Chains A and B, each alone.
Chain A
Amino acid sequence: MKFGLEKNTETPFPRGDFAAAESHEKKGSIGVEGEAASRPVTVLKNGSAVRLTGMVKTSGCAAKLPPEKLHSVIDRLPLQNNPNLVEGFESADDALVYRVGDGQVSVQTVDFFPPMVDDPYIFGQVAAANAMSDIYAMGGEPAVAMNLMCFPSCLDLDVMKRILEGGLDKAREAGAVIAGGHTIEDPTPKYGLCVTGFMKESEVWSNKGARPGDCVVLTKPLGAGIINTAAKVDEAPEESVLEAVRSMTTLNKRARDIARKCQVHAATDVTGFSLSGHASEVALASGVSILIDTKSLPVMSGALSLASFGFLPEGRYSNENWLYGKVSFAPDVPQNMIDLVYDPQTSGGLLLFMPDEDARRFVSEMADPASCAVIGRVVERGGALISYS
């Protein structure tokens, strides 16, 4: 096997030039299990070393088709009227919800994308955690999953094995079973899962139920898209990359488990359409507006600094474009904070809407103030869908 942790000697600049300390961002050591994930890892292609992220143009959830393009197509497709279909794609919810009898529903989702890290095992973990997150965002638990793999014919097959092992290990941690899948030869590697969970229909969290007065809780820090963009060219500080990897490989299981004990009115997860995009989907579906305090946002270390230096993925701009007119900012919100709230996240946190007391209890039980915080409040619909101060 050839994914030794070789330092890429062709790196044009030393890593972490832009790692200016920022008082807003949290400090502290980051532990990632297993290998030193932040160092460039090379895999074999036709006998020469390449980086997985060097084989792709866009990566992670930043590779999603821009939302306005997606909606220009799916909005013209006929709606399916099936009495058993509880949530279809018209509500922009995280998963399909289908009645299977006795008050039970199946919750299904599919998610796959090109690598945002060079280590194939970590890529597998991130892709699986990201795919299963949609089930957690509905309040459910993943039960069964199938692999989706696109793999270049020129790449060493051990790389595919490591990706699949990463996915299997994450599924095992989630208590889900992966059995089977589908593999296509493709010049750009991609991996993900189709996941199904089962739960009571009455316990499904949708995008629809947010009420004026609810607190908005975010369970993971923002900045993964920015850090992944800088890491691709070795410009991200090592501690930022480690923090992003740790966050992206963390299942939203614990957040979901703790939130199940609270009165959750609505929920989603924050992925490629950014905090602004996913929050606006809830605001739209629930008929409310949302106020977010940018000073309360959990941020990955280094992300704001890297944003100031222009390490922003294309998805950041397509997200803003799609949300034009729906989001407003107080005049004193700095540019890099605006960048952050449009940054496409990969395997981001849950965005939960619940009453004050439940939100306080939830955040205190999560006990991770650097990652999980109350970030805003739901108000009656008026003005922009999302207003940042």
Chain B
Amino acid sequence: MTVLDCVGLSCPIPVVKTKKALKEHPEGLEVLVDNVAAKENVSRFGKTMGYTVSVSDEAEGVWRVGMSK
């Protein structure tokens, strides 16, 4: 699965990068984020685009948002 690193980025940039990456990888994506707003916003984007979204802890303060069809 393609991994998009959005650690260190604040909203709305992670959503914009996720949108762009999903155009190149419509099968799905994993997005790394390090703030609550990015975790929630990227999850909302994935769900609205019709993906199944799962969130897991990656490290202290970092989440992995998985999107699959």
Q: Which residue numbers of A lie inside 8 Å of B, CB to CB?
A: 12-13, 57, 229-230, 232-233, 235, 307-314, 316-317, 335
Partner of A312, one of B19, B41, B48: B41
C-alpha spacing A309/B44, complex, angstroms:
6
Q: List 21 A-B contacts (CB under 8 A).
A: A12-B16, A13-B20, A232-B12, A233-B16, A235-B16, A308-B44, A310-B11, A310-B12, A310-B15, A310-B42, A310-B43, A310-B45, A311-B15, A312-B11, A312-B44, A313-B11, A314-B10, A314-B11, A314-B36, A316-B37, A335-B44
Within the assembled complex, what's the spacing in Å between the Cα atoms of A297 and B35? 30
**A310 neighbours in B (Cβ, 8 Å):** 11-12, 15, 40-45, 48
A13 with B16, Cβ < 8 A, contacts A229-B11, A313-B37, A317-B37 known: yes
Q: Across the A-B interface, how many residue pairs have beta carbons closer than 8 Å? A: 53
Name the one of B12, B37, B43, B44 contacting A233, with C-beta atoms under 8 angstroms.
B12
Q: Is the CB of B11 within 8 A of A13?
A: no
Which 3 residue pairs across A and B have the least CB separation, nearest first?
A310-B41, A310-B44, A310-B45
Q: Mark B39-69, 1 if CB is under 8 A from A, else 0.
A: 0111111001000000000000000000000
Task: Specify which of A57, A230, A307 is in contact with B44 (CB 8 Å cutoff).
Answer: A307
- If A229-B11, A229-B12 are given as contacts, then 14 extra A-B residue pairs at C-beta distance below 8 Å, sorted by A number, are A233-B12, A233-B16, A235-B12, A235-B16, A309-B45, A310-B11, A310-B15, A310-B40, A310-B41, A311-B12, A312-B11, A312-B40, A312-B41, A317-B40
Give complex CA distance A164, B46 in Å: 42
Which of B20, B37, B42 has a CB less than 8 Å from the CB of A314? B37
B13 within 8 A of A: yes
In the complex, chain A residues whose CB is within 8 Å of the CB of B37: 312-314, 316-317
* Distance, CA A230 to CA B35, complexed state (A): 18
Which residue numbers of B lie inside 8 Å of A, CB to CB? Answer: 10-13, 15-16, 19-20, 35-37, 40-45, 48
Find chain B residues with CB under 8 A from A307 CB. Answer: 44
> Chain B residues with Cβ under 8 A from A229's Cβ?
11-12
Which residues on the A side are within 8 Å of B16 (C-beta)? 12-13, 233, 235
Among A307, A310, A311, the one with the most B-chain Cβ atoms within 10 Å of its Cβ is A310
Q: Which residues on B sit within 8 Å (CB–CB) of A308?
A: 44, 48
Chain A residues lying within 8 Å of B20, measured Cβ to Cβ, are 12-13
CA distance A197 to B19 in the complex (A): 48
Q: Which residues of chain A are near B40, meaning CB under 8 Å?
A: 310, 312, 317
A279 to chain B, nearest CB (A): 22
Q: How far is the CB of B45 from chain A (nearest CB, A)?
A: 4
Is B10 a contact partner of A309 (Cβ separation < 8 A)?
Answer: no
Nearest CB of A to B1, in Å:
20
Nearest to B18 among chain A residues (CB) is A310
Q: Which residues of A contact B41 (CB under 8 A)?
A: 310-312
Which residues of the partner chain A approach B44 to less than 8 Å between Cβ atoms? 307-310, 312, 335
Give the complex CA separation of A217 and B44 in angstroms. 30
* A233: chain B residues within 8 A (beta carbon): 12-13, 16
Q: Which residues of B contact A312 (CB under 8 A)?
A: 11, 37, 40-41, 44
Q: How far is the CA of A235 from the CA of B45 in the complex (A)?
A: 13
Partner of B15, one of A309, A316, A317, A335: A309
Complex: chain B residue closest to A316, CB-CB: B37
Among B19, B35, B43, max chain A CB count under 10 A is at B19
Query: In the complex, how many angstroms separate the beta carbon of A236 from the nearest chain B beta carbon?
Result: 10
Assembly CA distance A337 to B21 (angstroms): 27
Taking A13-B20, A57-B10, A233-B13 as contacts, is the C-beta distance between A314 and B45 under 8 angstroms?
A: no
Contacts of B35 in A (CB 8 A): 314
Residues in chain B near residue A309, CB distance under 8 A: 15, 44-45, 48
